[in-house]
Amino acid sequence: MGRDSDARILWADIYASLSEEKRGLFGAVTSRAEAITMRLACLYALLDESQDIRPEHLRAGLAVWRYCEASAQFIFGNAIGDETADEILRVLRATPQGLSRTDLRDHFQRNKSAEEITRALGVLQEAGLARVDKRRAENAIRPTEIWFLI
């Protein structure tokens, strides 16, 4: 099954937005947007007993996909899929002044190791969701890290 010339033009216009990489669990469940949209368009063409996918089939498939994407965004939001990172993200959202590593350790009631907190902060930083400022207090040997939501 192929696309007619108008559907090819429409597909070229929407393909880039469908294939954009998204983060976290939302990105994982929506990572095949372009393939699923085209499959939906094929189904609409078949239901229409058409030999070719036309723009109306593609628009219908895209409408179903957008609904699915909005549902996934509602369900998964900005969750990373990492329990510790997701909890740090949640507490950073509630604390615009930022949190030190001591604050994070205390938030977890000392039930997370420094290594686990460091790993989770790295995940958030790599995902572009958190940033760190290093501040040196007077007479301090080491700077204090303050983590913020981006």
Q: What is the pLDDT of residue 142?
A: 85
Nearest Cα residue to 43 out of 58, 33, 25:
58
What are the structural domains of the chain? 2-76 (no CATH), 83-149 (1.10.10.10)
Q: What is the pLDDT of residues 95-147, one digit of tens each?
A: 999 999 999 999 999 999 999 999 999 999 998 899 999 988 777 788 999 99
Question: Can you tell me whether residue 130 is helix, strand or coil?
Answer: strand
Beta carbons of 19 and 11 less than 8 angstroms apart: no
Q: At residue 93, does pLDDT exceed 90?
A: yes
What element of type H or E holds 96?
none
Tokens of 116: 């686990």
